[in-house]
Structure 1
Amino acid sequence: MRLLLTIDTFRQFLPFQNEKIIVIGVMEIDHINKRKDFRFFTEWDLGNEKEMITKFYEYLKGKISEVGSNNLNFFSGKSKILERLFVVGFNILRFDIPILTQKGIEYSIGTVSELNLLWSSLVVIDYLQAMLPYNKMKIKGMSWERFSYILRTTGYKVPRIPSRGSQVKELYIKKDYESILKRNKAKLLTLYSASKIFEKEKI
């Protein structure tokens, strides 16, 4: 099972300093049942950041348990497939996972060691790291927009990201939540296209 993951935040000044997660977007790809589903955890629908983070971790822990239960069938001989849970994103090793861990600690969802253990139990794929050779091995300048552009040059249909990360703050202040969700969904679809390109799978 793959969970394509991306977040959007309300950042006032520096990263991680009083930065608020406002959307957690997930595209769930279940190879066994050949199913693809979108899930959006939003601060405005759930009422506050704490509730959103709590619901997301409940969902993630549920998926970990689901994969574990499915693997019991493998070890009992009822299934020939041994599952792993993949989490796929862009810059998730340097941003998404660290800030989700930070928020999990802030809201007493788990300790540092508990949350580190949770994330390290997953197979994490970060496409920003994979794209560095196309950007002179520099992180600076390797934005979502450039990532999408490079993928489009391969001939695949990759959506354009409708707004830049720097615009999210203004959109949030204006309560233009629809535009923020459109950006988040476009990022998930970009990750989906990247999965097909890099992994050469029909997913």
Structure 2
Amino acid sequence: MSGDGLLPRERTEVAPGAVHVPDWLGPMEQRELVASCRAWARGPVPMRHTRLPRGGVMSVQTVCVGWHWRPYAYSRTAPDVNGERVAAFPPWLAELGRRAVADAYDDPAAGAAYEPDTALVNFYDSSAAMGMHQDKDERSDAPVVSLSIGDTCVFRFGNPETRTKPYTDVRLASGDLFVFGGPSRYAFHGVPKVLPGTGDPATGLAAGRLNLTLRTTGLPG
């Protein structure tokens, strides 16, 4: 993926190990990511609303790359969708993740050591939300890299102990990077709302929000 050569605005440490970097993705990178997400959404395992074990259905739509996530496990195939093997995790996306970690932490060594092998791509329409949850289905405590494209959202970042306060609400706009690891790796987080009409159609996304989270599963093979 090509870079735009743009310098992001100053990064902010929201909590220990949790860093927000505004404007990290330039316009060209955002357009390229939107195009890639559209291709993944067509399959081999298509984008869908995930059904939860107790029967509920998530309001966001999700497609996975590298490993298929379903509550609350990873697999190479998608038995809850169509049984097909998910799209491969491309090397350029791993390299993007390494650059994200290096920039967020201002630590080239941490970036070089980062080896993501899966991405969850979530699409939020104007009414979608995500409840407070932990990303804890991985067998690795490597950081999670979150990339936002499209409409701005309210991202609620909490603590590792409880879904309730204390938490911090951060506005994630198109192109923003958020990385959480270290003491904040298992912090509860969610998206209480999306702000419709705040995105730029020049990204290739006319409405809604795309969120890509890159993770290291720690699984073999």
TM-score of the two chains, using structure 2 as the length reference:
0.24
User: Which has the higher relative contact order, 1 or 2, with Cα contacts under 8 A spaced 6 or more apart?
Assistant: 2
- The structure that has the greater radius of gyration is 1
Q: In proportion to residue count, which structure has more strand? A: 2
Q: TM-score, normalised by structure 1?
A: 0.26
